[in-house]
Structure 1
Amino acid sequence: MRKHDDGQMSAPEMSAPDLLNETTRASDDSSGHPCTTKATYGAGNHRHVSRSLRMRIAPIFQRACDGRVHLRHALELEHAPGTRNSTTMVHCLAITPFGVFVVNRYDWRGVIEPGINEDELAVVDELGGVTLHTSPLRRAKPAVRHLRLMLSQHECPVESIAIFAEARCNLHPTMPDGVMTLPDLHYFLRTRLNRFRATHRRFLDADNVVSHIDWSCLRRRSRP
């Protein structure tokens, strides 16, 4: 068994080819935020993967939210100012009337199974070799914690979603429900919408929430 060395603050794993099995290139978007990544990936590739992911998830979120959703892509969130690993990367952020979702895209190939603990996943290749990776949900925890704190006054649920490319990837049925392929996303959002409705709370003001997030990101980028 091999253990893949991937730090908590590294960008989500990706591959320039097979961007969620998409062959069309996404156009640029003025609402995207600049972002830096490790040199291994390159900022340009990160933005391209983020735009491609946004194109694929946008109609699904629009349908689940009756059009009331804001999407941001290629975000760099400063979750721990003044520390060595002060920022974390997010491919897409979806702001809906029933919560905020941190959405990242992965391109692991093989059978993806639960690991020995909730912070790891096992990838079994075609020869039966097993490699342990940090779980995408564990990688997204800094961003989730940061957003929960930022949006605490809105009482806004925040959670992460890991989208795996369908090609050459098979997710074990016991995977956490936040780990999925694209066809699973609509059902997942339905469960979160119904869970929120069951609390009998008023729906969130998504416009107000996204303004808060945009203001916070703009303030960080404008600091000297």
Structure 2
Amino acid sequence: MTSLLGVAAIGYFGYRFARRAPRLRRSMPARVEHQHNAPPATRAMIRGEAGEAAVRAELRRVLAGLCGNDFYLHDGAVLVQHAPGTAFPTAEIDHIAVTPFGIFVVETKNWSGQIAPAASADDVVRTGADGVAEVRRSPLAQNRTKVAFLNRKLPSVWPIEGLGVFASPDCRLHPGLPLPLIHINEIALWLRLRRSEFATTRKKPVNVRVAWDAIMLNASICGRGIEEHRKRLRAHAKDPANDAV
């Protein structure tokens, strides 16, 4: 009798599981598809994200010492719609630091080797440990349209400046580079100097909350929008027709 009850119980639970199984199978492809749609992280992406995290942490540490709680640094990228109607209507800002003495648009690079001036002011020359030199776009040139956009949209009384920060400890900067190109170890001194210079102007300090709200009227921190922007850049980079550009 006991064995018959056991067989009946097994049959019942087997029947219940069989009825649930189709629902489980239907739910699995959506999760797998979502994972496959996410682009695989490359070494360059991982290195870039590590550099941005290091610069963000140093900015936060320095600004807390200079401003107490009176500053804002968004924990992530900020997207500006600087060229609507074009193939690339958006631009991504690595960091925006809003302080009482100015708004700073920061482009981060985690490059190793020596960084020196190039023939064009829009470029720099990066020479690696193997001695191979290559011309790369300057972080200041990458920041130029973003800074110009914010200058058009925000009150002129708020100082807005672009800054390029190199995060790698194996990076050496040539003394002939423009002053707004700095190493992560120079962030503290650079911001101290900017605060001191602003104090000599006797201008009214930037209202941090108002300034950030104004930035958000012209920018976005939406994750979906940022990912769409990055997809456009990846598609452009993969197009063979762009090799000569």
**Residue deviations 1:157-211 (CA, integer Å, cap 9, x gap):** 1111222123221111222121111110111011111221222211111111111
Structure 1 position 169 matched with structure 2 position 160: no
Shift, 1:218, TM fit: 5.2
Distance 1:70 1:99 in 2: 11
Q: 1:93 to 1:66 in 2, by over 3 A?
A: same
Q: Which runs of 4+ in 1 moved over 6 A?
A: 39-48
Distance 2:55 2:169 in 1: 15
Distance 1:219 1:57 in 2: 19
Distance 1:187 1:99 in 2: 15
Q: Corresponding residue for 1:110? A: 113
Higher strand share: 1
Choose 212-221 or 106-115, whichever is displaced more.
Answer: 212-221
Distance 1:80 1:41 in 2: 30
Q: Corresponding residue for 2:196? A: 194
Q: Structure 1: give runs of 5+ residues left out of the alignment.
A: 1-36
Q: Which has the larger radius of gyration?
A: 2
Within the candidate set 63, 66, 83, 2:65 is matched to: 63
Distance 1:104 1:124 in 2: 20
> What letter is aligned with 1:199?
T
Q: Corresponding residue for 1:179? A: 181
Distance 2:149 2:187 in 1: 23
Q: 1:206 to 1:110 in 2, by over 3 A?
A: same
Higher helix share: 2
Q: How does 1:3-152 map to 2 (within 5 A)?
A: 50-72=52-74, 73-151=76-154
- Percentage of identical aligned residues: 26
Contact 2:112–2:168 (CA under 8 A) maintained in structure 1: no
Q: Corresponding residue for 1:209? A: 211
Distance 1:46 1:78 in 2: 23
Q: Structure 2: give runs of 5+ residues left out of the alignment.
A: 1-38, 226-245
Q: 1:48 to 1:171 in 2, by over 3 A?
A: closer
Q: 1:202 to 1:57 in 2, by over 3 A?
A: same
Q: TM-score, normalised by structure 2?
A: 0.66
Shift, 1:46, TM fit: 7.2
Instruction: Give the RMSD, CA atoms, in angstroms.
Output: 3.0
Shift, 1:56, TM fit: 2.9
Distance 2:106 2:151 in 1: 15
Q: How many residues align?
A: 185
